[in-house]
A and B are shown apart, each in its own frame.
Chain A
């Protein structure tokens, strides 16, 4: 049974976050999910466009009655000169 727009918001958020954590296509434990009317807004940071797209796919599957507003950003690291710290 999927959540409906009249499902209390905390349950929708909890179900969405659990799915994002446990679905092997995502495996993301620190997404932020909020419900605004009929929209589910998800934010956070992932490393690849594929992971960002997978988030929308999973949420669309479990919350078909909601519009998914995917605000997850991509933080791809590139080679750099990392900071060094001197310790005693």
Chain B
């Protein structure tokens, strides 16, 4: 069994220095890896990401993150990624990494993701250059995620996103902004390649649990949604009588 701790949308600012570390004080005993589902910072500054790195320095687990839209606001995402990597936090942007625990391997494919909407109302790359650029950004990101997923050959596989791959975990957000909260293109490639779990954030007023059309569990771990320091997911074991999720969707 592998225990995955996950939280998104920490929105760390300099005002959280000294306030974040206590939330993760016991995590080394509760999980085998920590996933951060984007919006690591409030406005994407290097000062903010340095606070995050310092506050998580006491966490001994492998730490794997994707960036979110807030982490791009100061237009220095590459510098944020470099500082994170130097500070012991792997940042995935169309990449994958493997964590080993107790002889089992966990593959994590991650990318920020983007908007564009969901099947039936997805934005098509048609018309003005700006619209095509928006739509193509999403399909490019989905293609990069697919390549990252296909590079993995592990016992378990988790997809880490910031934007949502499905509508279901957006329930509670104004429907008008759904196209800015995620895209079904990500679910499509995840269903095509396969995964055990999808983690995302971004939708603060969304729902925690959902499933892709192909039946893969999706969890929105945005901190305002889970209202906790992090969630823990146990992969690879289903004790008798425990709560579990079934793959209920129709395979694509």
Contacts and interface: CB of A to CB of B under 8 A. Distances in A.
A87 B74 CA distance: 37
Main secondary structure of the interface of B (DSSP, over half): loop
A84 interface: yes
Interface string A53-81: 00000000000000000000001111111
Nearest to A25: B43
A73 to B, nearest CB: 11
Given A27-B11, A86-B237, A86-B242, A77 B231 contact: no
A88 B238 contact: yes
Interface of A: 24, 27, 30, 45, 47-48, 50-51, 75-88
Interface residues of B, number: 45
B54 to A, nearest CB: 17
Contacts of A27: 11, 13, 42-43, 70, 73
Contacts, number: 92
A77 to B, nearest CB: 5
A48 B19 contact: yes
28 contacts: A24-B45, A45-B224, A47-B15, A51-B13, A51-B15, A75-B224, A76-B19, A77-B229, A78-B23, A79-B24, A79-B25, A79-B229, A80-B228, A82-B5, A83-B231, A84-B3, A85-B234, A86-B237, A86-B242, A87-B196, A87-B197, A87-B234, A87-B235, A87-B238, A87-B244, A87-B245, A88-B246, A88-B247
A87 B217 contact: yes
Nearest to A88: B238
B32 interface: no
Contacts of A75: 224, 227
A87 B233 CA distance: 7
Interface in B183-242: 196-197, 204-205, 217, 223-224, 226-235, 237-239, 242
